[in-house]
Structure 1
Amino acid sequence: MSLNIQEVEKALLLGRWEVQATPSSPIADLARDVVNGSFRGVLTSSQARDLFTIHSQDKTLLDKPLDEWFDFSTKENSSEQELLRLLLGVACLHAFLQANWTGPNLDFKPLDFITVPPQLESLITDESLKHKTVKELAYGGEPAYHLADSPILLRLAKILFELPYQFCQSANWWKLRAWNVHEQVLDEPTAVPANVLGSLESLSDTFATDPELAGRLMVEQGLLEHRLSNDKSAAEFFVRAARKTHLQYELTGALGKRTKFQQKDVTQLVLLAESQLKDHEQETTEKSDSSIINNGAPPVSSEPVPETMALNDDTLLEQTQFTSSNPAAPDSSLSHLDPGAQPPLHPLDQCILLSLCLNIKNTSPSHGLTAEQMSPYVARVISHPRNWSVHTMALLLRSRLESNRTRTVERSTFQLQALVDQMPTADSSVTERLLYIHSIPLPSKWEMEKELAMRFLSLGVVKSALEIFERLEMWEQVVMCWQSMEKRDKGITIVRDLLEGRKSEADTVISRNKPTSDSRRQVLDAAREAKLWCLLGELEPEQAKDHYEYAWNVSKETSGRAMRSLGGYYFARGDYPNTIACLRKAVAINPLLGRSWFVLGCAYVRQEEWEGARDAFARCVTIDDEDGESWNNLASVYLRMGEAGHTVEAEGTNDDQTENQVSHFTVRDGTDKSIPFSNRMLAFRALKQGLKFSYENWRMWSNYMIVAMDVGELSEACHALGRIVELRSAKEGAASVDEDVLERLVNAVTRGSANPNNTVEDNATVTNASLGPNEGQELHRRVTDLFERVILPRVSSPRIFRARGRLLTWEGKWEDALNAYLEAYRCGTAATIEKGETDLDKWREGINEVEEIVDVLRNFGPKIDGCKWRLQGRSIVRTFMARTRDFEDEPEWSRLSTLQEELRKEE
């Protein structure tokens, strides 16, 4: 009986050995050992040693890449030989994950399974092998973390997965998993080759019959998209994963209590979720001990899981106590679930929920709901521990959510410390820890320790943070700590010592007996040395340019960090041509960093190269569609691409030296109709999208208002004006109202018929009122709401009241209109002029206002029952004349006298 390759592949992907009948063959035994986590035995087997033997004895081999050290090709490309290469790649990848992600520590070293020719034994050591591997793992201009344990394992795994496969259909899936791991080893995410995700389409058909496999594939693709900041694409994959596993979930509400002293039940947010996947662990337990009677307690993992720290708060409960057995939405498909006693979920469904939780974090605006939305997802997973790694991830997410609340920050920090401490332990099996490692965004050991150090730093515990950063050799963060203690010189000394060999990194000292700086500098790989020079440039701004250029040269023109820094240096000094040249090189090396594209776009704008600016800002919003500032600038650029029109003025931010020059562009009115209408609409849509994520940015609302007026979206302009007044009135008063826009809105309303059954003016007979939001009664309702709800309760000015009066006149509300005009007069120059005023122009303006209000009284007074308009008019004229007797000799005084006499005769 031949070995069923597809069944073995499925077992490798799932991490469970479920191959029904296997022939007695060494390959099958090795595959079983890989699934069971016996990596030492697999990698030191005779079959592995044949492949992991360095085939050349020539010392020039040391200068060649690692994929040329070994001969992985086979004369006979049989299915078993192909499977051997695949499972050895899996063993290397999972051993690397065990060493750097899940623990416990490995019980072997790379040279225990790599056979080195005698002639090269003195040259190829564990240290030199590690250095060469770290150097090769640098990708896209980003260095790999140099203290990663046994990085040769990841490099070998990637080499093996890149080989051509004819029989093993899952090789492309393993390539995806290797890239997912590789991305987390780099300093910054970089774009993966196009064939990584594109080669997975056939897998959906191959493994579509298995819901768990199909679900895993969707989640893993989503996690890679998430790491590359493609959040929309990631969200789609996570939702598809839930469909593949038939997971049902719904965020709803149920009555409950959150505090110990709460007397009245209130609606609490809860996630209802139910799995459809078969639980293999539960089935195995039931088969092995069918005599145990189910007492109703929810099944939990048979393996130990990380400790869940107690809150121990005098007010908050450990978890929400739901007093209702039914959710707030009785028509829900999950209404049969009791919010306080839900059934346990399959571990893969728990992974999907945690991934959906990440999506909420990345697509919700920062208005306070994010943590509230995420908490029920995390709580649903924590309530039933099923797997060591999944539970670790859930506790880590809860720790992050609780880090900003005073009542939970203590547990948050202790929980994170406990998760870091558990990594080296052997409290659970390797198989258990690796079972779902590819389906969750669990950070590496060093990233988790870095997060703990950053938590200490946020709490002011700088010394503890500094100790962790120094142990992890994260020199950028070490320098940050010294700067926070106002000891910048100490940071400069550390960086210079590293560069000059006076201070050694763990993997830069080949031999403690060779302390010369030359030997240390020799093995400091180019990517990390370039990074240190960039760091020194930030610490020594007077020599920054030289340091950045040297970093670029040291890296042999591969350091994206060097070009980003040099581009920022030129931008801060207004040298925009050099900024563009540097940043174009930077984004060519690593196109995923939105900040580089943003500064590049601003430099293009300063040079008035509109197409380059458009492309740069378009890339910004592609990378992060929640970047409201980039949406705003993209809109401004669209309005400049017509060669004329709105002016674009720069308003600087005040974050750091570079960002002092990075602009937020403001559109000013002054429209030239030569701008294509299509460009105006593109600008309008860009601003509309950006405002979803910059709801508090009044400048963007101002731009949106102007463009909306320009393209005829009057309803949106009305909304924007109201939002600006809400944001600015407390500080700016009446200046927060764009009175020109307000009057144009009133004009747009009053051009139509006040009769809701008419769509044209005057004596129209056409019926069926316009239902569009930018005309007719709909716009009238919005403008009226703008006055009554937003503007008038906050600010006032003569023009505002006059605009209000015109609207009320159009409505036929004569008394209200007259009162509005009178309010405008009381706010104006005539009513506020003081006795003894000497400004002649101001007095003449006051005369005009007096004549205008008297005309209004003459027009509206007779239409209002009981209105003593003549008396009111005479009083206004008499009061103004009494205050301004000093101007009695001026020719215009006769106008006041004549007006007073006319009112007396009319009475």
Structure 2
Amino acid sequence: MTTRQSQVALICLKKEFLSGAPEERPIKLLINGQYAKLTGTELRQIFHDHSILELCEVEHLGQEQLRNVVDQIADKIISVSEELSYFSAILLLQIFVQTNFTGPRLPRVDELGFLVRLTSSTPAVLSLLSLSGQRPSKLVDWPLLLILSLRLFEKLQRCPISLVGENQSLEPEAAISQSNIPEFTEDNYVQAALCWWRARALQVQQSLFHDANPVLSTLTFSLLCPSLVAALMDNTDVNTAPNQYTLVLYHLERARAALGAGSETQASESLARAKSASGLQFVLTGCKAKRTRFQEKAFAALAVLARSQDTLLRVGSESRHNPQEVALNDDLFLERLRFENLGDDQALEELGDGKRVKIDFPNYESAEDQEAKLLPIAVKEDDIPAPLRSLDPNSQPALADLDSVQLLLRLETIRANTPANNALVGEELRALVERVLFSPPGSVNWLVFSNALWQRSLLETSRPKTVERGVLQLYSLVEELGVHAEQTARLFPKSKEEEQFPQMFAASDLRDDTTLINAVRSQYVYALPLSPKWSLDSRLAEKLLELGSVKSALEIYERLQLWTDAALCYGSMGNESKAEELVLRQLAESPDDARAVCVLGDVRQDPALWEKAWQLGRYANAKRSLAKYCYRRPDGSRDCRAAIGHQYDCVRANPLNFENWYFYGCLGLETEDYELAAEAFTRCVALDDSSQYAWSNLASALLRLDKLKEAFTALQRAVSSGDTEKASWKIWENYLIVAVKLGRWDEVLLASRTLLDTRKLDGDGSLDIPILEKLAGLLVAEPYDADARQTHFQRTCVKFLCQEVPAVVNYSARVWRIVAKVDLWRKKPWLALEDYEKAYRAAISRPELEADQDAWREAVAACEDLVSAYENFGELPGKHGAGDVVCKDWRFKARSTVRSLLSKGKVWEDTAEYVRLQELRDETKNK
């Protein structure tokens, strides 16, 4: 095996890539999870080095002393061999991940050498993992393993500064510039692998924090640059399984890192590239399905059809180590839905009441763009891709493990970018996760299967009918996978290898074909969302809070000693004194915990505490709280300039947070700093291009900067993003105004129709009548030809002006005159006459007619128009075309109209309009 293949094997942790050559035995042992046996290789001189063993007495050392000890151990390991130190850094990370994430618990055996002495978890040790004022959980096991791994990676990469235990106020940009990231070429694949593993270690550190850390997120994306994976590819034969596997894994890990940073747009882009590289084919379609054994009629349901490429299937995990499905054998409910009638478009309508919530970022239209969607949809059977049309939804083939991971990451991305508790989105996500769970028995990797179970349980809690079952499932999974997993094993029974795990560690010889259960568990740990064991308890508590079970959530937080989270619970209940007590308890244990200081500032509304949290570690939330405090002070005053200054610090400290940039942009709009607002909202839409209000606010800022075309483009994105049917009427109103200025009359018509539909209750307030008059003028400017085919604008405009507008606004004389103008253009004088009659009735029905002279003038004008219409249209051919006329007795009606208005307007006898009516009465007598 070549060195490049070895690096790929280490990156992918796939034993299938190894040739079994003797010199690769350490790599094989690491991949198999046989860590103790590694001490029988070249690493023994490191594991049992007496000088290192002497340094590992760290129980009572302070932070500075610990940092010096970590540096000394790292230097000694590197002095033995740089290659072995690289391997040691990976080994330390893997053991840490097994201990804290995947299990089983690592036994203390002598073969592990100095590692056994690095189990201390004192506050001083945990402080070395703190960054930007964020501290890891005190439940972390063997934190020094991760600390030493991170330090080794830094030294091997020759970083001039360290993130371990120092530079707590480092900005993300500075972290990148000081990380010595090389330009990756085909020759430096070792450095590429080193950077990939360092990115993994940083993401493991990130998962120990409560909030996303901008330094770690930004640095991870810089390390996982496109040239990195290119350097690891074997260019002598591009189309190989290792190349494909490495490329797919790279994109999936980038997507997971983007999700951890809260950047769903970048996650979506990486997932699209992963799909292209893997060859995964999948589609969501509607169907009918039965849920119970005795159900006769099938009801609407959704199904995901998916098929993996054969090359990825060949490198799947071994089924003998995967969890087997346990049948429920229920007398009523089926084990799984029994599908029929694939491609049923009525199923989608029944599930979503005909109004599908948009779940993808852009508005894709073409077939090519459809492939880039997070969840491609086939409305009808003909829309299902040919390779998937033959699949039986009740018995689909096994998926490659990486494709199952990809589906789960797509689920996370969709959920992060859609409204909570939407019924149809919930059905879509459930179909995704069931495609993973209902693969052939034993075909799904242990970690992937357990993650899918967790996701399904969370989805169950969002439905009223299944919320109780979902919560109970979450409790069961917490017992199986969380901090108490060592005492319980019902859903995931131990294999024979795992039952004998301690003995296998101590065994003197080890067969090369043995794969330990922990190797299978950790195989895809870096591609899936990283969840330490105790975080499952914490996530359960968050779900209980959402469901209103505050007491149960408090019990979990207090058991985990998460005093800050418990304080937030008490604060939500209005018990601020208890909240303050718990925060102070947390600060007594960790005085430099910036999050706890910030929460204490939130409880007390004390700016000094927020400033302290910022000084402790550039904690972005502290500056956000300061900005909001300055924006709305307790005395009711505002200091927007100070708020902008604080929010600027916040977005610099955490540049990947959408909400922070949004508030920053709003401050810019309020202070009329439109350059600032445009920049902020540009960053918003770059992070999440489905936010209607971000696009709309960006357009407002651009309008103020006289960038009309750019503003209109932003408004187009605003009205087509997110749930288009719920777009604010204010956004459509701005869209209308800008479209008028640009002369985009088709868009003006679209905006006018949408405003009329969304603001029906506002009556004529939903219309801009001068714009209606302009649209009518554009329409009648072209000659009407009944035999010619009308343009789309003409058809739509006629329907809008003659049907939709009158249905909403029937009490405005001005509107009826516009309708009459269009009806006359359509050569329908009988309709035009009816319109003038309705205009007259609307004018004389105004209650202020006898008190408001303007209303009186409008009534007289409407009367003149109607009399003129009687005279001009009365003798024209009628609508039946059988010798009839529009209005046979038009003279009588004209005289009656004038006399009626004269009678109503006696209070206006001294006005010129009344005199004009008298003259009109005399004129009608002579006709």
Common fold by TM > 0.5: yes
Distance 1:244 1:410, change over 3 A: same
Give distance in 2, aligned partners of 1:91 and 1:56: 17
Give the drift of 1:734.
Answer: 2.8
Q: Give CA deviations for 1:779-828 in whole Å, capped at 9, x if unaligned.
A: 22222233456433334331332222222222222222222232222222
Which residue of structure 2 aligns with residue 518 of structure 1? none
| Aligned residue number for residue 727 of structure 1 | 758
Name the counterpart of 1:31: 27
Tell me the CA shift for residue 700 of structure 1. 1.3
1:440: Cα distance to partner?
Answer: 1.8
Match of 1:773 in 2: none
Report what 1:233 is aligned to: 266
**1:728–1:736 CA contact under 8 A, matched in 2:** yes
1:895 pairs with 2:916 = yes
Distance 1:414 1:278, change over 3 A: farther
Contact 1:142–1:560 under 8 Å retained in 2:
no
Report the equivalent of 1:859.
872
Q: Residues 793 and 476 of structure 1: is their aligned pair in 2 closer, same or farther, counting only changes over 3 Å? A: farther
| 2:891 is the alignment partner of 1:843 | no
**Alignment coverage as a number of residue pairs:** 795
Aligned to 1:293: none
Q: Residue in 2 aligned with 1:370? A: 425
The match for 1:536 is 600
Which of 60, 72, 80 aligns to 1:69? It is 72
Structure 2 residue 776 is matched with structure 1 residue 746: yes
Which one-letter code corresponds to 1:813 in the other structure?
K
1:195 aligns with 2:222: yes
Write the letter of the residue equivalent to 2:758.
Answer: L
Report deviation, 1:866.
Answer: 4.0
Give the one of 105, 108, 120 matched to 1:126: 120
Q: Distance in 1 between matches of 2:336 and 2:864?
A: 71
Aligned residue runs from structure 1 range 245-394, under 5 A: 245-258=278-291, 263-265=296-298, 268-277=301-310, 301-303=319-321, 305=323, 319-323=336-340, 328-329=381-382, 332-362=386-416, 368-384=423-439, 386-394=444-452
Change (3 A) 1:167 1:890: closer
Residue 375 of structure 2 corresponds to which residue in structure 1?
A: none
Question: What displacement does 1:567 show?
Answer: 1.3
1:458-857 correspondence runs (5 A): 458-499=546-587, 501=588, 508=589, 524=590, 526=592, 528=593, 530-541=594-605, 544-553=606-615, 555=616, 558-573=618-633, 574-641=638-705, 675-685=706-716, 687-688=718-719, 690=721, 695-730=726-761, 732-755=762-785, 777-787=791-801, 790-798=804-812, 799-828=814-843, 830-833=844-847, 837-857=850-870
Give the alignment partner of residue 415 of structure 1, picking from 453, 473, 476.
473
Q: Name the % identity.
A: 28
Q: 1:266 to 1:487 in 2, by over 3 A?
A: closer
> What is the rounded CA distance, in whole Å, between the counterparts of 1:284 and 1:626 in structure 2?
37
TM-fit CA distance, 1:389: 1.0
Change (3 A) 1:260 1:375: same
Hey, what does 1:651 align to over in structure 2? none
TM-score (norm 1): 0.79
Equivalent residue for 1:290?
none
2:914 aligned partner, one-letter code: W
Matches of 2:262 and 2:548, distance apart in 1: 30
Q: Cα–Cα, structure 1 residues 778 and 302, in superposed 2: closer, same or farther, change >3 Å? A: same
Give the alignment of 1:103-252 within 5 angstroms.
103-108=103-108, 114=114, 126-128=120-122, 131-140=123-132, 142-164=134-156, 168=190, 170-189=193-212, 190=214, 191-193=217-219, 195-198=222-225, 200-203=228-231, 205-206=233-234, 209=240, 210=242, 211-252=244-285
Specify the SS of the correspondent of 1:404.
coil
Amino acid at match of 1:69: Q
Please say which of residues 798-807 and 566-575 is displaced more in the overlay: 798-807
Find the residue that maps to 1:600 and give its secondary structure. Answer: helix
Sort the Cα spacing of 1:857 and 1:493 in 2 relative to 1 into closer, same or farther, 3 A: farther
CA distance in 2, matches of 1:466, 1:365: 26
**Conserved? CA contact 2:698–2:711, under 8 Å:** no
Which SS does the other structure have where 2:796 is aligned?
Answer: helix
| Cα pair 2:692 2:719 within 8 Å, conserved | no
Measured after TM superposition, the shift of residue 418 of structure 1 is 1.7
Q: What are the Cα deviations for residues 643-684 of structure 1, in whole angstroms up to 9, with x where unaligned?
A: xxxxxxxxxxxxxxxxxxxxxxxxxxxxxxxx3544544554
Per-residue CA deviation, residues 257-280 of structure 1 (Å, 9 max, x unaligned), is 356675444664322212233588
Q: Does 231-240 or 251-260 show the bigger shift?
A: 251-260
Q: How far off its partner does 1:284 sit? A: 9.5
- What CA deviation, in whole Å up to 9, does each residue of 1:304-345 have, x standing for no partner? 63877969797x755321235899237622222112111122
Larger deviation: 271-280 or 340-349? 271-280
How far 1:538 moved relative to its partner?
A: 1.5
| Cα distance change of structure 1 residues 153 and 728 upon mapping to structure 2, 3 Å threshold | farther
Measured after TM superposition, the shift of residue 875 of structure 1 is 2.6
For the residues of structure 1 that align with 2:710 and 2:274, how far apart are their CA atoms?
A: 39
Q: Which runs of 5+ in 1 are unaligned?
A: 286-300, 502-507, 509-523, 642-674, 759-768, 770-775
Q: What is the DSSP-based 3-state SS (H/G/I as helix, E as strand, rest coil) of the residue aligned with 2:791?
A: helix
- CA deviation string 1:693-725 (max 9, x = no partner): 684312212111211222222222222222222
CA 1:397–1:74: 2 relative to 1, 3 Å = closer
Residue 153 of structure 1: CA displacement?
2.3
Paired residue type of 1:852? D
- Asked whether the 8 Å contact 2:31–2:519 carries over to 1, the reply is yes
- Structure 2 vs 1, CA of residues 274 and 482 (structure 1 numbering), >3 Å: closer, same or farther? same
RCO higher in structure (CA 8 A, sep ≥6) = 2
Deviation at 1:73, TM superposition (A): 6.6
Instruction: Give the Cα–Cα distance (whole angstroms) in 1 for the partners of residues 317 and 847 of structure 2.
Output: 92
CA distance in 1, matches of 2:56, 2:315: 51
Give unpaired runs (5+ residues) of structure 2. Answer: 158-187, 344-379, 495-516, 879-884
| Counterpart contact for 2:86–2:152, Cα < 8 Å | yes
Bigger CA drift: 624-633 or 323-332? 323-332
Task: Decide whether aligned partners of structure 1 residues 382 and 676 sit closer, same or farther in structure 2, where only a CA change above 3 A counts.
Answer: closer
Give 1:504's aligned residue: none
Q: 1:398 to 1:780 in 2, by over 3 A?
A: same
Output the aligned Cα RMSD.
3.7
**Structure 1 range deviating more: 801-810 or 631-640:** 801-810
C-alpha spacing 1:381/1:862, structure 2 compared with 1 (3 Å): same
Per the alignment, in what secondary structure is the counterpart of residue 473 of structure 1? Answer: coil
Shift of 1:896: 2.3
Tell me the CA shift for residue 61 of structure 1. Answer: 5.7
Q: Residues of 2 paired with 1:331 and 1:497: CA distance?
A: 59
**Could you list the per-position Cα deviations for residues 371-423 of structure 1 after superposition, in whole angstroms to 9, with x for gaps in the alignment?**
23322221111102522111112122222323221122122212222221111
| Aligned position for 2:368 | none
